[in-house]
Amino acid sequence: MTRRRSTSPDVNLNLNVRGLKQSATLAINERSAQLIRAGRQVYRFGLGQSPFPVPQPVVEELRANAHQKDYLPVRGLRALRDAVAAYHRRMHGIERGGEDVLIGPGSKELMFVLQLVYYGDLVIPTPSWVSYAPQARIIGRQIHWVPTQPENDWRLMPADLDRVCHEDPGRPRIVILNYPSNPTGDSYTVDELKALAKVAKKYKVILLSDEIYGELHHRGQHVSVSRYYPEGTIISGGLSKWCGAGGWRLGTFTFPGSLRWLLEAMSTVASETYTSTSAPIQYAAIRAFAGGTEMEGYLMQSRRVLRHLGRHVWRGLRDAGASVSEPVGGFYLFPDFSPLRERLARHGIQDSATLCERLLDETGVAALPGADFGRPPGELTMRLAYVDFDGARALSAAQQVPVDQELDRAFLELYCPNVAQAAAALANWLKKLK
């Protein structure tokens, strides 16, 4: 008897993958590009990509290293690992050496490998970045969403983390803390970090501190939680956000000595999968992590533009009736339109997916629904990435404005026109719905 082949090939997919779609951030980006190609005006607030160019010295270093063709060590180039450790010492006051650092093709891949090698549940606050949970699902780990409240600007509260861990105190867990936050743009105070670290220590969880937006704290005041729970914290970082190099795909994990076994297990998996991270990119990254006045100037102006722009959009949303917390870092806002629920319902909008669909359709503003970040589908939240502007142009214009001066509305409308227009379009749309 001949074996019958299934007519639908996807029935043979791994059960953990079946039904999963392309990651929301990348899907909205490709959809926006398609609409633009078809002649539509689209404000690209979907994908969280840095608007700023890669700093010139780092680009030059990449150019100078284009000839680097050899496979590099699985854990990363030693000089780069040393540079990352030195960066953490300088910026965060954390004593680490190059042997504590693992380089990977993006921190996203490193997060996946960590979840693969460590047998534990994933604990994440809701809302959280779109990919943590799908990664756990692909690998087959349990996911625990920890509730947060809008009154606390959606921050993870120590008591809520304690409650989840207390249910089964000895259970192995990875807790992900991400701040400045994707999707909310908020961050934690030192006291809050200390309190969270205390809970993490009590239950001996692996604390994965996703600090990829740390350098984009709008006032340059990022503090790493690993100071308060060094033995259990892995710091996740990379070039994508503060160095404008998302497409270069370079991420870093920095471990304490007590978790060296995890670094080793991860590099075994790396050696059997991606082998090592692109050689020219690693050479160039040394320059980025080395810092210096040029990098400092670039970061200072990037933060300044984001601070003023973020507050401009935030004010517009608030005045239009949304409930939204003031941005502290990064380039996201997470407005909640539930104060306008009745008005939206009259127009058939009762969930975040419909809200984003209609917004895109009727105004051209592409954003992501709160449901993609683990919020209940019926909640009227969305993530806006205020990155649709020419960062090179905005940076050089900002350099001409004395640092003690505001980048005012006229500046923002001139140099970040799409962001300013989209904020106005969104407010008008809400007003017109009646």
Q: Where are the alpha helices (DSSP H) in 229-292?
A: 260-272, 279-290
104 binds ligand GLU (CB under 6 A): no
Using the minimum distance from each CB to ligand GLU, give the nearer residue, 178 or 276.
Answer: 178
Query: Is residue 407 within 8 Å of residue 414, measured between CB atoms?
Result: no
Interacting positions 258-297 with ligand GLU (CB under 6 A): none
248 binds ligand GLU (CB under 6 A): no
Using the minimum distance from each CB to ligand GLU, give the nearer residue, 214 or 232.
Answer: 214
Using the minimum distance from each CB to ligand GLU, give the nearer residue, 108 or 375.
Answer: 108
Query: Is residue 339 within 8 Å of residue 17, measured between CB atoms?
Result: no
Using the minimum distance from each CB to ligand GLU, give the nearer residue, 47 or 430.
Answer: 47
Tokens of 158: 């120590």
Secondary structure class of 357 (helix, strand, coil): helix
179 binds ligand GLU (CB under 6 A): no
CA distance 277 to 245: 14
112 binds ligand GLU (CB under 6 A): no
Give Cα separations from 275 to 74, 100, 278, 294 (angstroms): 6, 19, 10, 33
CB of 428 to ligand GLU, least distance (A): 26
Which residues in 182-196 are b (16+ Cβ under 10 Å) and which e? bbbbbbbeeebbbbb
Query: Is residue 263 within 8 Å of residue 102, measured between CB atoms?
Result: yes
The only residue of 32, 45, 47, 58 in contact with ligand GLU, by rule CB under 6 A: 47
CB of 108 to ligand GLU, least distance (A): 5
Tokens of 205: 């969880």
Interacting positions 375-434 with ligand GLU (CB under 6 A): none
32 binds ligand GLU (CB under 6 A): no
DSSP 322: -
Which residues in 395-413 are b (16+ Cβ under 10 Å) and which e? bebbeeeeeeeebeeebbe
108 binds ligand GLU (CB under 6 A): yes
Secondary structure class of 124 (helix, strand, coil): strand
Using the minimum distance from each CB to ligand GLU, give the nearer residue, 100 or 148.
Answer: 148
CB of 183 to ligand GLU, least distance (A): 7
The only residue of 42, 45, 48, 262 in contact with ligand GLU, by rule CB under 6 A: 48
CB of 368 to ligand GLU, least distance (A): 8
DSSP 145: E
Using the minimum distance from each CB to ligand GLU, give the nearer residue, 181 or 226.
Answer: 181
Interacting positions 64-83 with ligand GLU (CB under 6 A): none
Residue nearest to ligand GLU (CB): 48
CB of 131 to ligand GLU, least distance (A): 6
Using the minimum distance from each CB to ligand GLU, give the nearer residue, 81 or 108.
Answer: 108
Using the minimum distance from each CB to ligand GLU, give the nearer residue, 44 or 88.
Answer: 44
Using the minimum distance from each CB to ligand GLU, give the nearer residue, 127 or 256.
Answer: 127
129 binds ligand GLU (CB under 6 A): yes
182 binds ligand GLU (CB under 6 A): yes
Query: Is residue 121 within 8 Å of residue 175, measured between CB atoms?
Result: no
Q: Which residues face 124 on adjacent strands?
A: 145
25 binds ligand GLU (CB under 6 A): yes
Q: Beta strands 233-238 and 206-210: pairing type? A: parallel
Using the minimum distance from each CB to ligand GLU, give the nearer residue, 157 or 367.
Answer: 367
**Site residue total, ligand GLU (CB under 6 A):** 8
Instruction: Kindly give, in sequence order, each residue whose CB lies less than 8 Å from that of residue 359, ignoring residues fewer than 6 positions away.
Output: 365, 367, 382, 426, 429
Element (H, E) at 146: strand 143-146
Q: Which amino acid is at 232?
A: G
Interacting residue ranges for ligand GLU, rule: CB under 6 A: 23, 25, 47-48, 108, 129, 131, 182
